[in-house]
Chains A and B, each alone.
Chain A
């Protein structure tokens, strides 16, 4: 085993660490959630990451997005992701796409992936991603943030449970603020769920939604 993974042992077995290296994850979005999710996947040591984001960094990203730095202003987020991956763990095969996820490119992006991580910030793209996961037969580890609040769910393929979280009557959401601990917390919970799935363990939030309010220190787990 590579020395870099020694401190993963305990929480993970050697067999699980080796299994991770055979797994591919799709990461949709490289903003507040996506930057942290990328970091977790790199340090855990998954085999490959495919990620897509068509945005470039702006100063308003600096309050919460891990990949946003002063030097990166104006750069594509996908470029920053590739550079971070090379700096943290070059053994992970990383494919970055600097265009947004669409109904046209999703099947190609999801092909061969074991699960998808939701780092998106809008309902339309989430619905496209969920439909793609259904077609690919892979689980979607959903995350969403707003204000002081975060939510995480593991959506089984074909379950249609994203509609329980975002009913069809909901149209697009207006952009809202949040603070740095919220995406960090949310992405950590998402990454832990993904880690369970990738290691073949049960994911505690399979078919459930964890809703957290960091302002009050409260969490609720809801059936979906």
Chain B
């Protein structure tokens, strides 16, 4: 199982946390596609607390955290 945690505006129209069958999501791109999150809406992608590119490979038990760009002032 993968745990996917969404933050900030990525929660709009989505859940805060998803639990996904890892077998169907070999990498981060598959997760983004499943949740309809455009790559331009991903600023920080963490796999088990470490910064990774969005196409990083995922494995059963991973925890993914995704943050959008927050750039207003």
**CB within 8 Å of B: which residues of A?**
29, 31-34, 118-123, 126, 143-151, 164-167, 169-171, 173, 175-176, 178, 183, 209, 211, 213, 216, 220, 222-224
If the complex has contacts A149-B8, A213-B8, A220-B7, are A122 and B71 also in contact, measured as CB distance less than 8 A?
yes
In the complex formed, the residue of A with least CB distance to B67 is A211
A residues less than 8 Å from B16 (CB atoms) = 216
> Which listed residue, B43, B46, B65, B73, touches A34 by the CB 8 Å rule?
B73
Asked whether A175 lies within 8 Å of B51 as measured between CB atoms, the reply is: no
Cβ contacts A to B, 29 pairs, < 8 Å? A29-B73, A32-B72, A121-B73, A123-B69, A123-B71, A126-B71, A144-B70, A146-B68, A146-B71, A147-B12, A149-B8, A149-B9, A149-B70, A150-B70, A151-B70, A164-B44, A166-B69, A166-B71, A173-B69, A175-B72, A178-B72, A183-B73, A209-B44, A211-B70, A213-B8, A222-B46, A222-B65, A222-B67, A224-B51
If the complex has contacts A164-B51, A166-B43, A170-B43, are A145 and B72 also in contact, measured as CB distance less than 8 A?
yes
**CB within 8 Å of A: which residues of B?**
7-9, 11-12, 16, 39-40, 43-44, 46, 49, 51, 65, 67-73
> Which listed residue, A120, A164, A167, touches B73 by the CB 8 Å rule?
A120
Asked whether B7 lies within 8 Å of A144 as measured between CB atoms, the reply is: no
Q: What's the minimum C-beta distance from A5 to chain B, rounded to whole angstroms? A: 28
B residues less than 8 Å from A123 (CB atoms) = 69, 71
Top 6 A-B residue pairs of the complex, sorted by shortest distance between their CB atoms: A121-B73, A149-B8, A146-B70, A144-B70, A173-B71, A33-B73
Cα A177 to Cα B16 in complex, Å, equals 21
> Which listed residue, B12, B40, B49, touches A223 by the CB 8 Å rule?
B49
What DSSP secondary structure best describes chain A's contact surface? mixed
B residues less than 8 Å from A220 (CB atoms) = 7, 65
Q: What's the minimum C-beta distance from B6 to chain A, rounded to whole angstroms? A: 11
Q: What's the minimum C-beta distance from A30 to chain B, rounded to whole angstroms? A: 10
Asked whether A165 lies within 8 Å of B44 as measured between CB atoms, the reply is: yes
Cα A166 to Cα B72 in complex, Å, equals 12
Q: What's the minimum C-beta distance from A11 to chain B, rounded to whole angstroms? A: 26
B residues less than 8 Å from A31 (CB atoms) = 73
> Which listed residue, B8, B68, B73, touches A118 by the CB 8 Å rule?
B73
Cα A213 to Cα B16 in complex, Å, equals 12
A residues less than 8 Å from B44 (CB atoms) = 164-165, 209, 222
Asked whether A144 lies within 8 Å of B40 as measured between CB atoms, the reply is: no
Cα A147 to Cα B11 in complex, Å, equals 11
In the complex formed, the residue of B with least CB distance to A173 is B71
Q: What's the minimum C-beta distance from B66 to chain A, rounded to whole angstroms? A: 11
Q: What's the minimum C-beta distance from B14 to chain A, rounded to whole angstroms? A: 14
List 7 other contacts, CB 8 Å, given A31-B73, A178-B72, A220-B65: A118-B73, A123-B69, A144-B71, A144-B72, A146-B9, A146-B72, A213-B11
